[in-house]
């Protein structure tokens, strides 16, 4: 009848335009204000870290795809670029570039590829890389530097959270002002300091529904409630919830790390449990743990529960349990 | 007016403007028709004619010999050329009766109508529907006679007439509502009588306001209530429409009977009326021929058995770059590999377009969009993984059999994973396991 060859495929024959690379690059775009801020505050050190992390991530990804004989198109799905950027943003400005490269290699290889690549990893890859560096090079990972815009004594400089924890900042009255935390004119990992820039990008992600609003909301709620109780009980000893939200890696963690689709739960009920868990863990570590900052370990800790949460919670199927006569 | 709706679902592009203002055209019967004996859900009909026999228009040529089956009728008058296997839109060849059209359209003399069909009793209506070989014309082609015979222990209170036509591109149901509102409402009344229901609800999506206005205006004289529902896919899926209109949930694995409801498509309602009034069996149907690969998109009344090729030729033919032919709508339709397949009772549309290069599949990133959009409350990505790794009992527990294959999940999947395909495979495997166990 017809000499033409037609495409045979399973329904549906319409497909939404959004795609995995688009999602990944939307996150990259959302990170641009914060990246800009970090370059402004930490100058060439930031540029060097971004460059080495992104390149090392891409090279590691390519190497693994080649070894595993996987199609190279997944190199351009944007996930390796994103891992590199996110890792760089969570590194202290003083870190040497070799260590940044090592962190990136670990992030992509052990954080992602050994599990089977994008979509199969249990832990947030960038945080795996960071956790490795933190454990293997603890001294290098805690050497801070004030931003180029701040004139202070560099020898004894501490991050706002370190200052709070180890120098009794509340008692001494030396707590970093909130305004400084909001704009990012303070010490810390290069990409985490400017809460404002991070919020700007988060707004894009929330309006485009790229990230689940429940995750940052749950984290903010849990952390505010946890730190709020102690602050109300003795405000001369504890910092306010607002300080905790604006300081350290909370913003980048809540909007860009904990929201990683692969390592957060699928169904909304499980998502709430996960998000509240992250928030409470951060509060616990910051107030009572050995570290000044707890965002990274809290997210990694809750990541471990995601497979279990995904297997435990599912939506109610239409017509399930409830029977109407 | 507040529009009713169901939770979840998607908003695919509608593309109905191609044909929505084009009246249903009469398609002149072709010289040859191929009528498959299996055009419906259930068992095939048994052939009643032999090669060389003369048949009338509307003569029964295939007999339904079991409950879940439907009789098949000649769609032209003429001579039987063969009773043989022939390509079928569902993919596998099916025993089919090929007729040479004598062009006379001699209606079968034994077929007669009823002066006042509304005076028929339920059994007589069911008999007429069964004799006419009517099946659900929305696409699933479930035998209507079975659908309007509720079990004794399941009283029916509501008949829902489905005028949603939530599939993109298709407009044939809309045209039926615009051009035959009375027949649809009268057919609905017959279904109401047959099922012993108290009321009739007509659900129409709010992108078809004109049809809504027209039916609402007519409905007053037929004791039917016409309701506007939100334009959202799959609003016309039986279980979702019941939920939208009545707030009732059909229990898992159950049927609309279980919640006292019978749902009929507008085309089916009209066919029921025609069969009762004039004795006309189901030998033609309304369908939309559209998509940007069709030169002159149209809504047509086509005799069953007409090859796709003839229908497409009547619509100006295909554009050069066409590489996709679909029977049905773009969300649930079946892609075709040849054009000599005939129009069957379930052919709600013939669509053609040029599809872009094959889309790249990425790994699932667990974004959860499939879960967010599934109208049945399933987790398609999880089902896909269970099927992929052969954990069939998990797939069943997580509701694989509740999937209606609407395609909302796959439509919204950013990784382009063929989720429906995986779940369908899982359903098949689960069912064949069950058959083995019970055998």
Boundary-marking domain end, from A115, A140, A165: A140
* Residues contacting residue B120 through CB under 8 Å, at least 6 positions apart: B114, B128, B190, B193, B276
Average pLDDT (A75-100) is 94
Distance in angstroms (rounded) separating the CA atoms of residues B275 and B335: 31
Boundary-marking domain end, from A140, A166, A200: A140
pLDDT in tens, chain B (439 residues): 578 999 999 999 999 999 999 999 999 999 999 999 999 999 999 999 999 999 999 999 999 999 899 999 999 999 999 999 999 999 899 999 999 999 999 999 998 889 999 999 999 999 999 999 999 998 789 999 999 999 999 999 999 999 999 999 999 999 999 999 999 999 999 999 999 999 999 999 999 999 999 999 999 888 899 999 999 999 999 999 999 999 999 999 999 999 999 999 999 999 999 999 999 999 999 999 999 999 999 999 999 999 999 999 999 999 999 999 999 999 999 999 999 999 999 999 999 998 876 778 888 999 999 999 999 999 999 999 999 999 999 999 999 999 999 999 999 999 999 999 999 999 999 999 999 988 7
Domain range for A37 is 20-140
Indicate whether A121 and A243 sit together in one domain.
Answer: no
Strands B60-63 and B46-47: antiparallel
Asked if A261 and B366 come within 8 Å (Cβ–Cβ), the reply is: yes
pLDDT of residue A156: 66
Q: Give a yes or no: residue A77 inside a domain.
A: yes
A268: closest CA of chain B, how far (Å)? 9
Residues constituting chain B? 439
**Structure tokens, B3:** 């529009």
pLDDT above 80 for A319: yes
Q: In this predicted model, what pLDDT tens digit does every residue of A246-274 receive, in sequence order?
A: 999 999 999 999 999 999 999 999 999 99
Indicate whether A189 and A78 sit together in one domain.
Answer: no
Indicate whether A100 and A199 sit together in one domain.
Answer: no
- In three-state form (DSSP H/G/I as H, E/B as E, the rest C), the secondary structure along chain B is CCCECCCCCECCCCCHHHCCCCCEEECCCCCEEEEECCCCCCCCCEECCCCCCEECECCEEEECCCCCCCCEECCCCEEEEEEEEECCCCCCCEEEEEEEECCCCCECCCCCCCCCHHHCCHHHHHHHHHHCCCECCCCCCCEHHHHCCCCCCCCCCEEEEEECCCCCCCCHHHHHHHHCHHHHHHHHHHHHHHHCCCEEEEEEECCCHHHHHHHHHHHHHHCEEEEEECCCECCCCHHHHHHHHHCCCCCCCCCHHHHCEEEEEHHHHHHHHHHHHHCCCCCEEEEEEECCCECCCEEEEEECCCEHHHHHHHCCCECCCCCEEEECCCCCCEECCCCCCECCCCCCEEEEECCCCCCCCCCCCCCCHHHHHCCCCCCHHHHHHHHHCCCHHHHHHCCHHHCCCCCHHHHHCCCCCCHHHHHHHHHHHHHHHHHHHHC
Closest CA to B213 of B181, B166, B241: B181
Checking ipTM against 0.90, whether it exceeds it is: no
**Structure tokens, B356:** 């872009």
Give the number of other Cβ atoms within 10 Å of residue B83's Cβ: 20
pLDDT of residue A224: 97
Which residue of chain B has the CA closest to A13?
B330
Indicate whether A70 and A131 sit together in one domain.
Answer: yes
Indicate whether A159 and A307 sit together in one domain.
Answer: yes
Q: Give a yes or no: residue A11 inside a domain.
A: no
Indicate whether A66 and A211 sit together in one domain.
Answer: no
How many interchain CB pairs under 8 A, A with B?
171
Q: Does A312 touch chain B (CB under 8 A)?
A: no
Q: Does A172 touch chain B (CB under 8 A)?
A: no
Nearest by CB: A317 against B252, B416, B418: B252
CA–centroid distance for B27 within its chain: 20
Q: In this predicted model, what pLDDT tens digit does every residue of A113-162 receive, in sequence order?
A: 999 999 999 999 999 999 999 999 999 998 888 888 877 777 667 888 98
B108: closest CA of chain A, how far (Å)? 32
Average pLDDT (A171-197) is 90
Strands B94-101 and B78-86: antiparallel
pLDDT of residue A325: 41
Indicate whether A282 and A201 sit together in one domain.
Answer: yes
Which residue of chain A has the CA closest to B154?
A325
Indicate whether A161 and A290 sit together in one domain.
Answer: yes
Average pLDDT (A3-15) is 86
Indicate whether A165 and A297 sit together in one domain.
Answer: yes
Distance in angstroms (rounded) separating the CA atoms of residues A171 and A238: 9
pLDDT of residue A153: 72
Average pLDDT (A176-199) is 92
Confidence of residue A322 (pLDDT cuts 50, 70, 90): low
B-contacting residues of A 105-144, CB under 8 Å? 117-120
Q: Does A3 touch chain B (CB under 8 A)?
A: no
Asked if B355 and A262 come within 8 Å (Cβ–Cβ), the reply is: no
Indicate whether A160 and A274 sit together in one domain.
Answer: yes
Confidence of residue A320 (pLDDT cuts 50, 70, 90): confident
Nearest by CB: B251 against A15, A314, A323: A323
Which residue of chain B has the CA closest to A265?
B366
**Structure tokens, B434:** 């069950």
The CATH 3.40.50.11540 domain(s) of chain B lie at 16-20+114-278
A110: closest CA of chain B, how far (Å)? 18
Residue of B93, B307, B363 to mutate, testing the A interface (most A Cβ within 10 Å of its Cβ): B363
B86: closest CA of chain A, how far (Å)? 13
Distance in angstroms (rounded) separating the CA atoms of residues A249 and A242: 13
Number of domains in chain A: 2
Give the number of other Cβ atoms within 10 Å of residue B48's Cβ: 18
Indicate whether A49 and A131 sit together in one domain.
Answer: yes
| CATH class given for the domain over B16-20+114-278 | alpha beta
Indicate whether A169 and A278 sit together in one domain.
Answer: yes
Distance in angstroms (rounded) separating the CA atoms of residues B224 and B217: 10
Peptide bond into A12 cis (omega under 30): yes
């Amino acid at each position: 009848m017809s000499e033409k060859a037609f495409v045979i495929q399973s329904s549906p024959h319409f497909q939404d335009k959004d795609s995995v690379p688009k999602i990944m690059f939307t996150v990259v775009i959302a990170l641009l204000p914060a990246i800009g801020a970090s370059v402004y505050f930490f100058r060439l050190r930031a540029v060097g870290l971004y460059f080495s992390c992104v390149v090392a991530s891409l090279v590691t990804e390519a190497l693994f795809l080649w070894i595993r004989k996987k199609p190279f198109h997944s190199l351009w799905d944007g996930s390796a670029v994103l891992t590199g950027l996110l890792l760089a943003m969570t590194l202290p400005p003083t870190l040497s570039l070799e260590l940044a490269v090592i962190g990136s290699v670990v992030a992509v290889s052990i954080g992602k590829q050994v599990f089977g690549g994008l979509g199969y990893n249990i832990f947030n890859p960038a945080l795996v890389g960071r956790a490795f560096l933190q454990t293997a090079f603890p001294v290098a990972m805690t050497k801070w530097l004030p931003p180029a815009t701040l004139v202070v004594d560099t020898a004894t400089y501490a991050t706002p959270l370190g200052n709070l924890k180890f120098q009794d900042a509340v008692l001494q009255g030396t707590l970093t002002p909130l305004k400084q935390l909001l704009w990012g004119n303070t010490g810390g990992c290069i990409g985490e300091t400017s809460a404002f820039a991070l919020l700007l990008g988060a707004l894009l992600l929330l309006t485009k529904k790229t990230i689940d609003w429940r995750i940052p909301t749950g984290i903010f709620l849990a952390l505010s409630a946890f730190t709020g109780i102690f602050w109300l009980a003795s405000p001369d000893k504890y910092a306010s919830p607002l300080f905790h939200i604006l300081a350290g890696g909370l913003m980048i963690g809540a909007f860009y790390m904990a929201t990683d689709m692969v390592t957060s739960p699928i169904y909304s009920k499980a998502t709430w449990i996960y998000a509240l868990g992250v928030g409470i863990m951060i509060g616990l570590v910051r107030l009572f743990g050995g570290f000044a900052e707890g965002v990274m370990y809290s997210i990694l800790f809750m990541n471990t529960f995601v497979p279990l949460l995904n297997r435990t919670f599912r939506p109610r199927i239409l017509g399930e349990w409830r029977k109407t006569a | 007016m507040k529009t009713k709706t169901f939770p979840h679902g998607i908003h695919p592009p509608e593309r109905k403007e191609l044909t929505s203002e084009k009246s249903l055209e009469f398609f002149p019967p072709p010289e040859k028709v191929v009528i498959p004996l299996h055009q419906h859900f259930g068992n095939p009909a048994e052939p009643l004619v032999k090669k060389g026999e003369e048949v009338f228009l509307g003569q029964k040529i295939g007999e339904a010999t079991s409950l879940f089956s439907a009789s098949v009728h000649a769609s032209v008058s003429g001579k039987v050329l063969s009773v043989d296997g022939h390509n079928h839109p569902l993919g596998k060849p099916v025993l089919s009766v090929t007729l040479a059209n004598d062009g006379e359209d001699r209606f079968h003399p034994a077929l007669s109508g009823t002066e006042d069909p509304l005076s028929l009793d339920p059994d007589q209506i069911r008999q007429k529907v069964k004799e006419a070989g009517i099946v659900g014309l929305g696409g699933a082609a479930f035998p209507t006679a079975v659908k309007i015979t509720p079990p004794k222990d399941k009283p029916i209170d509501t008949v829902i007439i489905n005028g949603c036509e939530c599939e993109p591109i298709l407009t044939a149901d809309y045209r039926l509502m615009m051009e035959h509102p009375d027949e649809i409402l009268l057919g609905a009344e017959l279904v109401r009588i047959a099922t012993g229901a108290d009321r009739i609800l007509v659900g129409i999506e709010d992108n078809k306001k004109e049809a809504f206005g027209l039916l609402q205006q007519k409905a007053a004289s037929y004791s039917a209530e016409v309701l506007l529902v939100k334009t959202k896919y799959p609003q016309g899926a039986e279980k979702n429409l019941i939920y939208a209109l009545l707030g009732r949930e059909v229990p898992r694995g159950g049927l609309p009977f279980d919640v006292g409801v019978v749902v009929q498509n507008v085309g089916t309602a009209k066919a029921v009326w025609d069969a009762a009034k004039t004795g006309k069996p189901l030998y033609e149907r309304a369908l939309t021929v559209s998509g940007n690969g069709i030169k002159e998109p149209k809504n047509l009344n086509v005799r069953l058995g007409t090859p796709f090729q003839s229908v497409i030729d009547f619509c100006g033919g295909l554009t050069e770059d066409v590489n996709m032919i679909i029977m049905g709508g773009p969300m649930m339709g079946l892609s075709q590999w040849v054009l000599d397949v005939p129009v069957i009772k379930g052919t709600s549309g013939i669509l053609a377009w040029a599809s872009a290069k094959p889309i790249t599949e990425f790994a699932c990133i667990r974004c959860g969009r499939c879960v967010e959009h599934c109208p049945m409350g399933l987790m398609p990505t999880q089902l896909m993984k269970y099927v992929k790794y052969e954990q069939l009992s998990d797939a069943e527990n997580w509701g694989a059999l509740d999937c209606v294959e609407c395609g909302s999940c796959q439509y919204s999947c950013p990784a382009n994973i063929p989720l429906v395909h995986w779940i369908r495979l899982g359903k098949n495997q689960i069912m064949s396991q069950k058959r083995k166990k019970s055998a």
